[in-house]
Chains A and B, each alone.
Chain A
Amino acid sequence: MISSFDASYDEKYPMQLISLLYVSESALSSTTERQSVDDIVATANRRNPAMNVTGALLFTGSHFAQILEGEKEIVEVLLSEITADSRHRNLRVVDQHPLHHRKFPEWSMAYFGPSIFISRHVNSLLQSPVQTSNQGEGEWLSALLREFIATSK
């Protein structure tokens, strides 16, 4: 049973909410990637509701992209775990900003499947020099994740 996030929580317990978007290369082998991603989703579905973390994950076969929304400290702990996770390589935080209202009602998988189209956008974020902010592409990717979630039901 996946419990969706209780929206009144943020109002009852004011705290510093942030939204964080990262992209990474997948280190999974193509033969076991479906099982591995299922494992990731199962763990996230088990843990994220208890930590009031919402957001969405996308997997293209070659790349991951994820938005995490939640209390700043919790999101930062999750990020350090994911950065150390051997299933990800070359992780890059594309955007991090304070959040007043969550954009995602719960945590879920937005998309799983090969897509040259999405990979190309994620790749341009990964390849851009560290100092430059590639804001346009980041916003594009956030909008893509939201659209997948908004139309999946």
Chain B
Amino acid sequence: MPPNIPANRYLYVIDDDIDVRKSLNLVLVTSHITTWPFASPTDFLAQLDTLKPAPVLLDFRMPDLDGLQLLRILREREIFWPVIMMSAHGQIPIAVRAMQLGAIDFLEKPYQIEDLERLLESSFNMLDEIRLEAESRNEAKSKLEKLTPREREVLLLLARGFPNKVVADDLGISPRTIEVHRRQLYEKMGAKSSVELLATLHAAGVDLKMSE
């Protein structure tokens, strides 16, 4: 194997056509990609919990669930692996729905293998980014979970830039109590500065915009 080509690159191929599954396996092996075939979205969902993150090549037209329905289920389960949807040429509504549901691209059949390979390269790069983002999101969320509901309220008000006095008035407690909560939540979240605190909130996906 030449250097610079990472080993163990997996691709989930979900297509009810066995010839497609077989030929992709043969073609992609030369790009050092191991395909992992599924004959239906149902088969894929049945094993989903045991699968590692990898790009998904998804056919639109299949019996039982179609490609868009599977894509919607993946979004509901907050699985953001790169998905490439395949379908016949010119099916605009399907392409648009797929991209609105977060598919990274749409492949019109028949396609050139070079186009697929290009899409797969960007999928693998994207997967690395997704993995890093998910790690920092989970880490930030677990820090937030250590806080009591009261500490969380205090944190959100402080993060929006309100001074202790205003936060105290807002929550109906004394500024001294706020100060205690503040020290406690800095400690629990392992933050040394308000900048670090804000970065953790951002990584956890907390929206600080005032809803009212």
A binds B: yes
Residues of chain A at the chain B interface (Cβ within 8 Å) = 111, 113-117, 120, 140, 143-144, 147-148, 151-152
Is the beta-carbon distance between A115 and B106 smaller than 8 angstroms?
A: yes
Q: Which residues of A contact B93 (CB under 8 A)?
A: 147, 151
Nearest-Cβ distance from residue B129 to partner chain A, whole angstroms: 13
Q: Which of B17-42 contact A (CB under 8 A)?
A: none
Q: Which residues of B contact A152 (CB under 8 A)?
A: 100
Is the beta-carbon distance between A151 and B118 smaller than 8 angstroms?
A: no
Q: Which residues of A contact B128 (CB under 8 A)?
A: none
In the complex with contacts A140-B92, A144-B92, A147-B92, A117-B100 CB distance below 8 A? no
Question: Interface readout for B110-142 with A: 1 if CB under 8 Å, 0 if not?
Answer: 000001001100100000000000000000000
Residues of chain B at the chain A interface (Cβ within 8 Å) = 90, 92-93, 95-97, 99-100, 104-108, 115, 118-119, 122
What would be 17 A-B contacts, judged by CB atoms less than 8 Å apart?
Answer: A114-B104, A114-B105, A115-B99, A115-B105, A115-B106, A116-B118, A117-B106, A117-B107, A117-B108, A140-B90, A140-B92, A147-B92, A148-B100, A151-B93, A151-B96, A151-B100, A152-B100
In the complex with contacts A140-B90, A143-B92, A144-B92, A116-B99 CB distance below 8 A? no
Is the beta-carbon distance between A144 and B106 smaller than 8 angstroms?
A: no
Q: Which residues of B contact A115 (CB under 8 A)?
A: 99, 105-106
Starting from the known contacts A116-B118, A140-B92, A143-B92, 7 additional A-B residue pairs (CB-CB under 8 Å) come to: A111-B99, A114-B105, A114-B122, A115-B106, A117-B107, A120-B115, A147-B93
Q: Which residues of A contact B99 (CB under 8 A)?
A: 111, 113, 115
Nearest-Cβ distance from residue B95 to partner chain A, whole angstroms: 7
Give the CA-CA distance A114 to B122 in the complex, in Å.
10
Q: From B107, which residue of chain A is reached at the shortest CB distance?
A: A117
Q: Which residues of B contact A116 (CB under 8 A)?
A: 105, 115, 118-119, 122
Q: Which residues of B contact A148 (CB under 8 A)?
A: 96, 100
Q: From A148, which residue of chain B is reached at the shortest CB distance?
A: B96
Is the beta-carbon distance between A144 and B95 smaller than 8 angstroms?
A: yes
Nearest-Cβ distance from residue A44 to partner chain B, whole angstroms: 21
Give the CA-CA distance A40 to B104 in the complex, in Å.
24
Q: Which residues of B contact A147 (CB under 8 A)?
A: 92-93, 96
Q: Which residues of B contact A120 (CB under 8 A)?
A: 115
Q: From B118, which residue of chain A is reached at the shortest CB distance?
A: A116
Q: Which residues of A contact B100 (CB under 8 A)?
A: 148, 151-152
Give the CA-CA distance A96 to B45 in the complex, in Å.
47
Nearest-Cβ distance from residue B157 to partner chain A, whole angstroms: 29
Those 6 A-B pairs whose CB atoms lie nearest each other, nearest first:
A117-B106, A147-B96, A117-B105, A147-B92, A116-B105, A143-B92
Nearest-Cβ distance from residue A152 to partner chain B, whole angstroms: 7
